[in-house]
């Protein structure tokens, strides 16, 4: 038989067998080396870096387990690490190295709550800061003690929101936009149609800024035991502080170099630094990664992150996106798994394609007839991101989650002026009055524009009806808090758009209750869609997918230098709209500003 197979060729040929054995041997050696390197000491300090934007999830095959730069820890991973450390007797204490933090306020709040839970377990949590700003200090205040590195400085200058408008410079290039804005608070179009913010845009942006400012002052004054007025005076009068000045004001607990801190740990625990610290990702890998470890009942956490799209065609580098097929597969996995007793829908999305969001809601409503669903909002769950949350029997959000934005808009570019300036001539032959109406090379006429606006209005009415059904409100009651208005989680609770204030853990507890699981048991979480590791791609024979995943990671890192430009308000909307010729009706968060 073997001889016949050799004659036929295929994988029984000696060369192919050698290759397969070689790949498996290489993989096996890599796994053993990785696992050996991840053996944890009997007692150690858990050192966790917290930096960057803190994505909700880490990307597929973010990096190889050896060599190279590792991806920064995601919010999923950080919450898991801190949760496991609570009951791990090997963890002596936790050192958070907070640097270059650029996360939404709601994610900082959720991390702060997780730190508070860790402290309640008896573990001491120390924050080490290097030239911190307001966001780093806001998170550090949740720890037992704050150490600022000697020789650095602190920039506590308050918060701001920046709005950018491109209509005038674009007009000089011969580019303009027409908008169907339904309704006036749906202000994402303003970056392309106005030279300054509308009163409605300023109203909702100021409301978000007020909430973030109040949260900052209240949390720091409460956790550092200084008066609110005293801390506000520091921000308004000093702004830039030396660590020593901050120490004299009781804003921090110590000033030290990193080496001085290492020596203190060494003396206390009787170990050299290289045997004393375990890094956050190393700890996560050594304790089972993000996969469930037991065979007991579990709760599926199904993530909808980034832009909501219909077909997964978001270009590489545009950031995270969730398409209909991905959600459908994740839900099917959760429904087919008999150990999964409930689903937590975890949303970190500003919305996107209105039809895709509507389709996702339909899939979720169908899944809810089989297993309970609770919605948990992360940094943002607005517009289409809010629409999908309606599937939850209960909706949870952090006080500073950006949500609501119940409305739609469509934006049509007109490059006709650019063609004229460049001398390009366009001739079009049509059959049918509106055949050329949606071209990006001329503006709408009156009849075409009316149809354009009517389409947005029809989808808005459908959105209102979905919210009325999901929240048990009348359409008039929904419209009173809709119209594109954006709410913080705190205000959304007051107007009835969410049910509870709380993070992922609170939503899991609610899901456990709805599924009538053992109240004393702690169910493991199955995160979906499943993120594959490089080894899983390799063993499954998905070499091309592995290559694509790793290439995407390289592109993400390479584009890091361009992030300040890529994240200008309005650029997200522009990239999304310009992927196709025809105008799209979007359920997308209009307040695309960074509060910092």
Q: Which residues participate in catalysis according to the annotation?
A: 186, 383
- DSSP string covering 315-343: PTTS--EEEHHHHHHHHHHHHH-TTEEEE
- Please list the residues that pair with 396 across neighbouring strands: 376, 500
Angle between helices 75-87 and 504-514 (to 10 degrees): 70
CB 555 within 8 A of CB 317: yes
Pick from 65, 128, 58, 141: nearest CA to 94: 128
In the 3-class helix/strand/coil scheme, how is 400-413 assigned residue by residue?
A: CCEEECCCEEEEEE
CB 528 within 8 A of CB 300: yes
| CA separation for the pair 526, 576 (Å, rounded) | 31
- Please list the residues that pair with 96 across neighbouring strands: 48, 127
Tokens of 296: 């007991």
| CA separation for the pair 544, 214 (Å, rounded) | 49
Quickly count: other Cβ atoms within 10 Å of residue 123's Cβ. Answer: 20
Phi/psi-derived region of residue 270, left when phi > 0, alpha when psi is between -120 and 50, beta in every other case: left
Sequence-separated (6 or more) residues with CB below 8 Å from residue 210: none
Tokens of 76: 């999923």
Tokens of 431: 């059959």
Residue 566 sits at φ, ψ, to 5 deg, of -65, -25
| CA separation for the pair 190, 177 (Å, rounded) | 10
Pick from 296, 261, 190, 290: nearest CA to 520: 296
Residue 58 sits at φ, ψ, to 5 deg, of -80, 150
| CA separation for the pair 442, 320 (Å, rounded) | 32
| CA separation for the pair 94, 33 (Å, rounded) | 26
């Amino acid at each position: 038989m073997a001889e016949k197979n050799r004659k036929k060729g295929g994988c029984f040929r000696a060369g192919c067998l050698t290759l397969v054995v070689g790949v498996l041997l290489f993989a096996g050696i890599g796994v053993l080396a990785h696992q050996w390197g991840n053996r944890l000491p009997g007692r150690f300090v858990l050192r966790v870096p917290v930096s960057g934007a803190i994505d909700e999830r880490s990307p597929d095959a973010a990096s190889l387990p050896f060599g190279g730069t590792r991806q920064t820890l995601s919010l999923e991973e950080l919450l898991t690490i801190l949760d496991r450390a609570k009951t791990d007797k090997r963890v002596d204490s936790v050192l958070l190295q907070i640097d270059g933090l650029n996360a939404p306020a709601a994610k900082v709040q959720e991390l702060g709550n997780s730190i508070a839970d860790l402290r309640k377990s008896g573990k001491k949590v120390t924050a080490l800061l290097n030239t911190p700003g307001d966001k780093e200090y806001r998170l550090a205040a949740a720890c037992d003690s704050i150490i600022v590195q000697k020789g650095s400085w602190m920039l506590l200058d308050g918060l701001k929101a920046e709005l950018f408008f491109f209509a005038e410079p674009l007009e000089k290039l011969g580019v303009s936009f027409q908008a169907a804005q339904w309704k006036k608070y749906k202000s994402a179009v303003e970056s392309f149609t106005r030279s300054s913010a509308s009163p409605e845009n300023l109203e909702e942006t100021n409301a978000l800024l007020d909430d973030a400012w109040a949260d900052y002052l209240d949390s720091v004054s409460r956790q550092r035991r200084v008066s609110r007025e005293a801390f506000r005076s520091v921000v308004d009068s000093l702004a830039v502080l030396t660590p020593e000045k901050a120490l004299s004001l009781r804003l921090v607990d110590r000033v030290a170099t990193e080496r001085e801190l290492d020596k203190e740990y060494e003396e206390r625990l009787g170990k050299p630094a290289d045997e004393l610290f375990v890094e956050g990702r190393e700890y996560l890998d050594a304790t089972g990664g993000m996969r469930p470890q037991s065979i007991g009942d579990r709760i599926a956490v199904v993530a909808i992150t980034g832009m909501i799209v219909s077909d997964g065609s978001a270009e590489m580098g545009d950031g995270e996106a969730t398409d209909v097929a991905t959600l459908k597969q994740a839900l099917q996995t959760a429904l087919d798994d008999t150990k999964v007793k409930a689903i937590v829908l975890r949303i970190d999305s500003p919305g996107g394609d209105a039809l895709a969001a509507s389709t996702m809601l339909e899939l979720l409503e169908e899944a809810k007839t089989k297993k309970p669903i609770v919605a948990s909002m992360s940094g943002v769950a607005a517009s289409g991101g809010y629409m999908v949350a309606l599937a939850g029997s209960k909706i949870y959000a952090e006080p500073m989650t950006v949500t609501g934005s119940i409305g739609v808009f469509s934006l049509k570019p007109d490059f006709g002026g650019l063609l004229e300036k460049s001398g390009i001539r366009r001739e079009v032959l049509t059959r049918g009055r509106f055949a050329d109406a949606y071209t990006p090379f001329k503006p709408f006429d009156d009849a075409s524009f009316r149809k354009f606006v009517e389409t947005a209005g029809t989808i808005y009415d459908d959105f209102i009806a979905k919210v009325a059904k999901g929240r048990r409100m009348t359409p008039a009651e929904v419209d009173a808090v809709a119209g594109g208005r954006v709410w913080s989680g705190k205000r959304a609770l007051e107007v009835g758009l969410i049910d509870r204030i709380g993070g992922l853990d609170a939503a899991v507890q609610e899901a456990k209750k709805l599924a009538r699981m053992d109240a004393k048991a702690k169910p493991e979480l199955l995160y979906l869609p499943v993120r594959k590791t490089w080894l899983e791609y390799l063993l499954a024979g998905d070499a091309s997918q592995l290559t694509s995943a790793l290439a995407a990671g390289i592109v993400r890192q390479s584009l890091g230098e361009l992030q300040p430009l890529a994240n200008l308000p309005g650029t997200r909307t522009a990239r999304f709209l310009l992927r196709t010729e025809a105008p799209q009706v979007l359920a997308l968060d209009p307040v695309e500003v960074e509060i910092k």
